[in-house]
Amino acid sequence: MLDYVDLEADLSEEERLVRDTAREFVDEEVRPTIGDHFEAGTFPEDLIAEMGDLGFYAPNIDHEATANLGERAYGLVMQELEAGDSGVRSMASVQGALVMYPIHAFGSAAQRERWLPDLAAGSAVGCFGLTEPDHGSNPSAMETRAERSDDGEGYVLNGSKTWITNAPIADVALVWAKDRSAEGDPVRGFLVKTDREGITTNHIDGKLSMRASVTGEIGLNDCYVPESAVLPDVSGMKGPLACLTQARYGIAWGAVGAARDCFEAAREYATDREQFGGPIARFQLQQEKLAEMATQITTAQLLAYRLADLKERGDLRPQQVSMAKRNNVAMWRDAARTARETLGGNGITTDHSPMRHLANVETVYTYEGTHDIHTLILGEDLTGIAAFE
Ligand SMILES: Cc1cc2nc3c(=O)[nH]c(=O)nc-3n(C[C@H](O)[C@H](O)[C@H](O)COP(=O)(O)OP(=O)(O)OC[C@H]3O[C@@H](n4cnc5c(N)ncnc54)[C@H](O)[C@@H]3O)c2cc1C
């Protein structure tokens, strides 16, 4: 397995164990059926509770219901899950970084007690509703709104969200909406149980990327929620943006895993496949591809490791996460395409992973801030001039 600069040597016993557990889970539970799920457009839902048992949901959150791991161990879990499939890593990221993290960071004691144990165990599924049909890269322009209910004891939500991972199978949706009853219409987070009246979650069909993942829309039509559904400790866009920083950190690691999986598939194929009287790995053109992939994967991995150290000591800035998400996902996109090339015609089937990873990366390149948006975030950080509008 590619680890060109021996990062393994610096892992603690616990980190190695966690990494190996995730790797074994992927080998035994994900690889055998993921191609079929990808073709069928289904998520292996039987794995949701097992992933909970293994502690894959928000293990970096300090809570009695979670695995309480460090940031590097958490990153290694994301790396191994995405080596299996982005749908599996997305399941863990949404549940952990986008639902459990905000409940832990911004929720009330009652909300933490109600949701964290169930979400950590995978006996409940959460989703994160930020994107809207007309507002993707600019979520601060969202139209979903919350207004005080007539009895003054809750809110009435109206609006729609789209492209929401897990919405159709979620028990609870964290919906971000503008609070029209507060001055300045601040964005607030609402924990909406999906069996409430006034909320619908429709499946989005026809995806050609991230097929082994459930994606849907959320419709809110005079959906009443009690005051206790509001995350009390955050107001404004910093709420959803803080969640995205957590998830993007996981993606920076996950991208390394998916790219590594592409590389390993290409290396194995190149050494086995014979053309012109010997293995294609003897051709300089093929070696150049492997050398380039290995180099880019290694440098992306070093960036992820550095982020873990910064995050662990509380020094990680969102812009640094943007750099890693942007770089590592683009690196994976190139690696997946190159690996697919090496596999020739066989490379376009679900019998091999590169084409599936190549299809998946189109989603990861776009969600959690598109590549362009992360470029602009870096541009602003480097020059002090925002170029978003
Ligand atoms: C499979 C999948 C799962 C998803 N899961 C979730 C989820 O769980 N929760 C959630 O809230 N969202 C989710 N998303 C939505 C995702 O975050 C959005 O698709 C993403 O933010 C981009 O928004 P958009 O698709 O509306 O594209 P747009 O914002 O319309 O962008 C279109 C193009 O314009 C470019 N662009 C936009 N603004 C600028 C600018 N200022 N300068 C230069 N170029 C610009 C973009 O980079 C992009 O290339 C998911 C998406 C997918 C595909």
pLDDT of residue 58: 98
Is 1 inside any structural domain?
A: no
- The verdict on 374 and 261 lying in the same domain is yes
Average pLDDT, the chain: 98
Ligand 1 pocket, 388 CB below 6 A? yes
Range of the domain at 344: 238-383
Is 23 inside any structural domain?
A: yes
pLDDT of residue 200: 98
- The verdict on 193 and 168 lying in the same domain is yes
User: If pLDDT is split at 50, 70 and 90, which confidence band does 195 have?
Assistant: very high
- pLDDT tens-place string over residues 86-100: 999 999 999 999 999
Determine whether 227 is an active site residue.
no
Strands 126-129 and 172-179: parallel
What is d(CA 251, CA 247) in angstroms, rounded to the nearest whole number?
Answer: 6
- For residue 170, the domain's CATH number is 2.40.110.10
Residue whose CA lies nearest to ligand 1 atom number 19: 367
- The verdict on 244 and 375 lying in the same domain is yes
Last residue of a domain, one of 229, 255, 277: 229
- The verdict on 279 and 370 lying in the same domain is yes
The beta strands (E) that lie in the chain are given as 126-129, 145-148, 154-165, 172-179, 187-193, 199-203, 215-226, 274-275, 278-279
Is 133 inside any structural domain?
A: yes
**Average pLDDT in the 161-170 region?**
98
**Average pLDDT in the 306-327 region?**
98
- The verdict on 184 and 250 lying in the same domain is no
Ligand 1 pocket, 144 CB below 6 A? no
Contact 177, 191 (CB under 8 A): no
User: If pLDDT is split at 50, 70 and 90, which confidence band does 299 have?
Assistant: very high
pLDDT of residue 320: 98
The active-site residue out of 15, 71, 132, 368 is: 368
Token pair 């919405």 is at which residue? 167
Ligand 1 pocket, 131 CB below 6 A? yes
Is 2 inside any structural domain?
A: no
- The verdict on 197 and 283 lying in the same domain is no
- The verdict on 86 and 139 lying in the same domain is no
Q: At what angle do helices 86-93 and 238-272 cross, to 10 degrees?
A: 160
- For residue 352, the domain's CATH number is 1.20.140.10
- The verdict on 242 and 342 lying in the same domain is yes
pLDDT of residue 104: 98
**Average pLDDT in the 73-87 region?**
98
- The verdict on 134 and 113 lying in the same domain is no
**Average pLDDT in the 235-243 region?**
98
Name the residue among 90, 56, 57 with its Cα closest to residue 364: 90
Q: What percent of the chain has pLDDT over 90?
A: 100
Ligand 1 pocket, 93 CB below 6 A? no
Mutation probe of ligand 1 site: the residue of 207, 366, 376 with most atoms within 8 A of C-beta:
366
**Average pLDDT in the 33-43 region?**
98
Is 351 inside any structural domain?
A: yes
- For residue 82, the domain's CATH number is 1.10.540.10
Contact 14, 55 (CB under 8 A): no
User: If pLDDT is split at 50, 70 and 90, which confidence band does 234 have?
Assistant: very high
Ligand 1 pocket, 4 CB below 6 A? no
Please give the single-letter amino acid code of residue 76: L
Is 388 inside any structural domain?
A: no
Last residue of a domain, one of 121, 146, 164: 121
pLDDT of residue 88: 98
Is 259 inside any structural domain?
A: yes
Mutation probe of ligand 1 site: the residue of 164, 370, 375, 385 with most atoms within 8 A of C-beta:
370
pLDDT of residue 308: 98
- The verdict on 248 and 304 lying in the same domain is yes
pTM: 0.98
Q: How many domains does the chain have?
A: 3
- pLDDT tens-place string over residues 244-267: 999 999 999 999 999 999 999 999
Is 242 inside any structural domain?
A: yes
Q: How far is the CA of 130 from the centre of ligand 1 (A)?
A: 11
pLDDT of residue 376: 98
User: If pLDDT is split at 50, 70 and 90, which confidence band does 133 have?
Assistant: very high
pLDDT of residue 103: 98
**Average pLDDT in the 197-210 region?**
98
- The verdict on 370 and 249 lying in the same domain is yes
For residue 359, count other CB atoms closer than 10 A to its CB: 17
Last residue of a domain, one of 96, 121, 146: 121
Q: What percent of the chain has pLDDT over 70?
A: 100
Q: Can you say whether residue 160 is alpha, beta or left, with left for phi > 0 and alpha for psi between -120 and 50 degrees? A: beta
What is d(CA 348, CA 243) in angstroms, rounded to the nearest whole number?
Answer: 35
Backbone angles phi, psi at 128, to 5 degrees: -125, 110
- The verdict on 140 and 34 lying in the same domain is no
